[in-house]
Chain A
Amino acid sequence: MVAAPAGIATIADPTRPATPKTTMNILDIITPDCIKAPLEAQDKKAAIYELVDLLAKADKVDDVEGLRDAVWSREQTRTTGIGHGLAIPHGKCVGIPRLAMAIGMPAKPMDFAAIDGKPVQLIILLASPIDRTSDHIQALARISKIMHPEPFRERIYAAKSAAEIYELLREAEKAT
């Protein structure tokens, strides 16, 4: 029988890479024509496909099927519905010339198998070239940061049009 110390940690000092300073501005990767409110899609897969099509229509994707597969494969590993009504599906694929983003607001809150079990009110899809891993991660971090304050989320979820969503994002970027 061995008396236990208050906490036995089998790792003493986890190496923590410093949080990189991000200079990402999401207005560089989103354009008003890649925002749609409301979406026609009624379910998760259709919503992802609709957003990919939106990017294709704006000439931001060369390989629509490739991007659909990449985003859906990522979605299978774990839901990107990160809670509080937000989902950030994303994928890397060779058919993307540069980092691109599409935003969609479901007509009514959508089941996304989110980690908090709540339906999703805004879907932000991020597409990245294979070799832009760092930018891809920075963009995900930036979106999460902007969407973090609850008052901002409430305002963007209440937006009535694509133009209003874009304007809110512009304000948020300006404020930070």
Chain B
Amino acid sequence: MLLASTEFTTTALLLGAFGALLLASVALSRGLDRAGVPVALLFLALGMLAGSEGLLGIPFDDYQFAFRVGSLALILILFDGGMNTSYAAVRSAIGPASVLATVGVAITAGLVALAGRALGLPWTLSLLIGAAVSSTDAATVLAVLRGSGLRLRRRLGATLELESGLNDPMAVILTISVTDALLSGAGAGWSLLYLAPMQLLIGAGLGAGVGWLARRLMMRIQLRAVGMYPVITLGVALLAFGGATLLMGSGFLAVYAAALVIGNGEVPYAAALRRIHDAIAWLCQIGMFLMLGLLVFPSQLLPMLLPGLALGFFLAFIARPLAVAICLAPFRFPAKETGYLGWVGLRGAVPIILATFPVLADAPGAKGVFNLVFFTVVVNAIVPGATVRWVTRRLGLEVPETPTPSAVLEVASMRPLKGDLRSYYIDKSLAVCGASLSQVAFPEGAGAALVVRGDELVAARGATALREGDHVYIFCRPEDRAFIELLFGRPQGDAPTPEI
């Protein structure tokens, strides 16, 4: 009885503390957002404050738990990223993003390893650090930009986003190979040259296949309980990861590919699914960084101060920019875009989670690597991270973002409907700006559903005139979409037209 009540109290305390940390993270994130600093740093700091050497003194040093929960969080964050990436964005950026995600990762890892060696670390540990910090995290950059109402030019944003969706697998492959080499005492070997492409191919193929089957399944079965649909997509994410990993493929790439296929096709309750996965991704993002913060002992970080700073700066100022310049040379990016991509390749949670892997494998010197990687990521998030907004504006790489309507109208359906309802921002350059709805030559079967004017909802009647700054909801069939966009411009939420 005593044991049961103690367990109950401990669980309640832990869950209560976790809840309070989540709330604090969300409440404080807005302030950091305004300052233009990646919010991930806040979650990490809160985790450290709550940890065994912090205010709450929560003891946590379970690397295995951290690795598993971290992997789960990454899967769900990647899945959300894939669901929100359009095929058009993939098409526009697949070339440069693929090279950055493979060759770029290898170059970055190699250069950081050289720097580690120059600092006096053994080759194997240097390679391990290089491999762990080699992948980028677009979510960190894009969150900073979103916080400032900025949107990157289409190909630039798509390259950054797609690269970070594709480069985790390469970093995972490198880290596992180097860890294995560390344990066996043998070199990483040339097998990487064929293992890496093979794993990527299996991951992409299997993920796309799982995604395609899942989409067909969701269209076929008609579930009465709407809440079951996100259960399917969550299951797909986990299955794609597990299946591909067991079949010697890249699990993370499989997750991303499955989500791409689902997100770009018709699925029931698509808008609601996106919102649910967005919420899950945020929860994972906050939870994962809090946990990684808990896992760190500040006292152990202090000895890493100098090498950590050195590696962080080397990564930001030399390794990443150089890798990007080499990889993008064949793609004719303007110099300022190449420079920008080189500067804003921020690191996120992936390196820290990857650094737990050698600790779990009991590789010699692994704890030191974990602390050094942690430090490098934090330095990297602060130095280029805090300048992202300023650099974006300074280089003029943002595209104007239309304001979002104060009211959202959407059609939710468990069956695919012929037609959709989208909101359009009335810019003064549009043909329909100043026209009354009765003057608009709507095709048969298309029409305006609602006008949102500031905080006011205006009935869409024939006499209603469209004013600059209005948001108008238009219902139309797929075959009329091109004409509707000719009159009303870009639907809200769609990526801007690529600049050519």
Contacts and interface: CB of A to CB of B under 8 A. Distances in A.
Q: Top 9 A-B pairs ranked by shortest CB distance?
A: A16-B447, A141-B441, A77-B489, A78-B490, A14-B449, A74-B429, A7-B413, A73-B429, A82-B482
A148 B192 CA distance: 53
Interface of B: 88, 91, 222-227, 400, 409-415, 417, 421, 427, 429-435, 437-444, 446-450, 459-462, 473, 475, 482-483, 485-487, 489-490, 496-500
A137 interface: yes
A56 B462 CA distance: 36
B460 A14 contact: yes
B461 A16 contact: no
B192 to A, nearest CB: 36
Contacts of B432: 133, 137
B415 A6 contact: yes
Given A44-B500, A144-B486, A3 B440 contact: no
Given A6-B414, A7-B415, A20-B439, A140 B225 contact: no
B429 A70 contact: yes
A11 interface: yes
B88 A137 contact: no
Nearest to B400: A76
A1 B485 CA distance: 38
5 contacts: A7-B413, A11-B421, A15-B449, A44-B500, A113-B497
Contacts of B427: 73-74, 77
Given A4-B226, A15-B449, A113-B498, A77 B439 contact: no
Given A14-B475, A15-B449, A19-B444, A8 B439 contact: no
B443 A111 contact: no
A144 B480 CA distance: 11
A41 to B, nearest CB: 13
Interface of A: 1-4, 6-11, 14-20, 22, 43-44, 70, 73-80, 82-83, 88, 90-92, 111-113, 115, 117, 128, 130, 133-134, 136-138, 140-141, 144
Contact of B434 (A1, A2, A7, A133): A133
Given A10-B411, A137-B431, A18 B438 contact: yes
Nearest to B223: A4
A15 B446 CA distance: 9
B428 to A, nearest CB: 8
Given A4-B224, A11-B411, A14-B447, A133 B441 contact: no
Contact of B447 (A15, A20, A92): A15
Given A113-B500, A115-B482, A17 B434 contact: no
A19 B440 CA distance: 8
A140 B484 CA distance: 11
Contact of B437 (A11, A17, A79): A17
